[in-house]
Amino acid sequence: MEVTSIPFLNQEEYSYFYSFFQELDNSANSTIVSENSTKRRKTDGPMDPMDENENDPFKEILNTVYFQESPPSLEVGEFEFKVPSSSFGLEVSDDRERARKTSLKFESGPSSNEESSSQGGGSRRLWVKERSKGWWDYYNSEECPNDEFKKAFRMSKATFNMICEELDAAVTKKDTMLRMAIPVRQRVAVCLYRLATGDPLRTVSGLFGLGISTCHKLVLEVCAAIKNVLMPKFLQWPNDERLGQIKSEFGSISGIPDVAGAIYTTHVSIIAPKVSPALYYNKKHTERNQKPSYSTTVQGVVDPRGVFTDICIGYPGAMPNDQILEKSVFSKRFNMGHSKNVRVVGNSSYPLLDWLLVPYTHQNHTWSQHSFNEKIGDVQQIAKDAFMRLKGRWACLQKRTEVKLQDLPVVLGACCVLHNICEINNETMDESLIFDLFDDEIVVGENAKGKSVNAVQVRDSIAHNLLHHSH
């Protein structure tokens, strides 16, 4: 190996080397070399004494040699070179995380449970929770037996189909860009199942594959549609022709003439309202349940089949039956003389009126009074049985409801309409579903307000005729 000394360059040799390296700077890598050299100078801490003269040609030569000996750079656009600094590790991690998120965003397409729509040039994602609809798909198919369907919805498939057809125009919703509208049959089924079982909304949500809030909204919407569409068809005071048939049927049952209906009032437990809770405080239920109880009322008049012909819903539970009757439109219609030659039968919680027959409440009855009370009891039992079937079919009425007080009358009215549809279509009910009523009767005294001499004479005359006709 030969070792030679390197003499100092003279002016001519210096100029030659300077021109040689200047040509290298004009090559394809000149841009990258220039950027990297600038960044290196800015991040290397204290300036070297040799850096004081930035225009020194010899300094440019040394910088050029340094970068020529570095590894070859990557293609432009693949990677952005960064000079390591004190936070280099964190910066690299951030870059990798951003690269991973960008890759996921652009490489992965929409999944099965998301829908995308563009708004204003941007991308918006709607995430829909995947829920199973297997239970409803089975009950909505031909595979489900009619008896099993009836057990879940308290009516046959034929009656259910009829209700869906009647409500189709009222509850149908249009599809949107984000999702398909819930079918009418599923909407009606959600409402009927909730009313029939009284199950929590979370349970209903799991069975039908819908959100909890969606199920609650569907129940209220379908109940409102039932009130607006079906109530005028299935719950109305009978016309003259039907009224004559009702009088004849009640007459064959009790022997009392001109009876057009039996009246009864039941209570539905509610959560204590924030406004005027004392009005809804139910003293009798509180004594039985050993805890404060609140309720609202449902007053109904039924025909011999147990079909409602008039209902009055929403008066506070602390109000007695006679006051509810006095404030109802049904009572005002009779008092104004719109219903002539018509009588209604009630229990001892109602007052004796010209058009309202109630049993004798004093002690030591005569034979005629005793016979009259028995016949009145037979008619009154028809109304009570109707309410027992009402609460038996729609179990949501059996326990304290969570429906808001302002929405409750619509829900209760829908239950009465559905009861009528089942009764008219001869939908038999399982005896195990019959619910025993616990509505305590507050006896109204014989000297109650509204009692007239004519009403007393008419009742005595009917009692006398019943006794003699029975013999």
Residues 379 and 427 reside in one and the same domain: yes
Residue 77, both tokens: 């656009």
SS3 127: strand
Q: Which residue has the tokens 């609140």?
A: 294
Q: Which of 211, 232, 253 is the C-terminal boundary of a domain? A: 232
* More confident call, 58 vs 359: 359
Helices (H) and strands (E) in the chain, counts: 18, 7
Which pLDDT does position 468 carry in this prediction?
76
Residues 148 and 296 occupy one common structural domain = no
Same-domain check for residues 138 and 242: no
DSSP assigned state of 140? T
The answer to whether residue 19 is domain-embedded is: no
Asked, for residue 436, whether it belongs to a domain, the answer is yes
pLDDT at 438: 78
In a domain, 17, yes or no: no
pLDDT of 93 reads 47
| C-alpha dist (Å) from residue 137 to 140, 159, 186, 199 | 5, 19, 10, 19
β 343-345/259-270 pair status = parallel
Let me know whether 221 and 333 are in one domain: no
Cα-based angle 358, 364, 367 (whole degrees, multiple of 5): 70
Instruction: Give the three-class secondary structure for 275.
Output: coil
Determine the 3-state secondary structure of 392 from DSSP. helix
Q: How many domains is the chain built from?
A: 2
CA distances from 243 to 117, 140, 247, 309, 331 (A): 60, 39, 6, 11, 17
DSSP 8-class letter at 235: S
C-alpha angle 284-286-289 in degrees, rounded to nearest 5: 110
pLDDT digits (tens, 9 = 90+) for 96-149: 444 444 444 333 344 444 444 444 445 555 555 566 778 999 999 999 999 999
pLDDT at 432: 86
Provide the pLDDT confidence category of residue 26 given band limits of 50, 70 and 90.
Answer: low
Under DSSP, is residue 422 helix (H, G, I), strand (E, B) or coil?
Answer: helix
25 pLDDT band, cuts 50/70/90, is low
Helix (H, G, I), strand (E, B) or coil at 446: coil
pLDDT tens digit sequence for 153-197? 999 999 999 999 999 999 999 888 878 899 999 999 999 999 999
pLDDT score, position 306 = 96
- Domain membership flag for residue 99: no
Radius of gyration in angstroms for the set of CA atoms belonging to the chain, rounded to a whole number: 43
Task: Give the span between the Cα atoms of 21 and 51, in whole angstroms.
Answer: 19
Q: How far is CA 213 from CA 204, 221, 322, 407, in A?
A: 11, 12, 39, 15
Q: Note whether residue 386 is domain-resident.
A: yes
Domain boundary among 232, 262, 279: 232
Which of 141, 164, 145, 152 has the alpha carbon at shortest distance from 421? 164
Asked which of 244-258, 333-347, 412-426 is least confident by mean pLDDT, the reply is 333-347
- The C-alpha atoms of residue 434 and residue 384 are separated, in whole angstroms, by 11
How many CB atoms are located within 10 Å of the residue 23 CB? 8
Average pLDDT value for residue range 427-446: 78
Q: Residues 450, 351: contact at Cβ < 8 Å?
A: yes
Q: Report residue 5's pLDDT band, with 50, 70 and 90 as the boundaries.
A: very low
Mean pLDDT of 417-422: 98
Domain co-membership, 401 together with 304:
yes
223, 241: one domain: no
Rounded mean pLDDT of 195-200?
Answer: 95
How far does CA 66 lie from the centroid of its chain? Answer: 73
Angstrom distance (rounded) from CA 390 to CA 416: 7
| Confidence band, pLDDT 50/70/90 cuts, at residue 450 | low
**pLDDT per residue over 301-311, tens digit each?**
999 999 999 99
Residue 231 confidence (pLDDT) above 50: yes
Report yes or no: 434 and 154 within 8 Å, Cβ to Cβ. no
Let me know whether 253 and 226 are in one domain: no
What's the domain range around 402? 237-470
pLDDT in tens, 372-405: 999 999 999 999 999 999 999 999 999 899 899 9
Beta strands at 356-357 and 343-345: parallel, antiparallel or unpaired:
parallel
Looking at every residue in the chain, the average pLDDT score rounds to: 79
Same domain for 334 and 389, yes or no, is yes
Q: Is the domain of 350 the same as that of 393?
A: yes
User: Between 157 and 429, where is the model more confident?
Assistant: 157
Cα(153)–Cα(196) distance, integer angstroms: 6
For residue 129, give the amino acid letter: K
Residues 209 and 306 both lie in one domain: no
**278 within domain boundaries:** yes
- Identify the domain boundary among 210, 232, 254: 232
Residue 363 lies in a domain: yes
Q: Are residues 223 and 303 located together in one domain of the fold? A: no
The residue ranking higher by pLDDT, 72 or 398, is 398
Asked if the structure places residue 191 within a domain, the reply is yes
Q: How far apart are the first and last CA of the chain?
A: 151
Considering only residues 51 and 171, tell me which one the structure prediction assigns the higher pLDDT.
171
**Residue 15's pLDDT is what?**
53
Q: What local confidence, expressed as pLDDT, does residue 383 receive? A: 96
Question: What percent of the chain clears pLDDT 70, i.e. is strictly above it?
Answer: 69
- Angstrom distance (rounded) from CA 265 to CA 259: 18
Residues 417 and 336 grouped into a single domain: yes
Q: Where does the pLDDT of residue 63 fall: very low under 50, low under 70, confident under 90, or very high at 90 and above?
A: low
Average pLDDT of the residues in 323-336: 93
CA 102 to chain centroid, in Å, comes to 39
Q: What is the DSSP letter of 431?
A: G
370 in helix, strand or coil?
Answer: helix
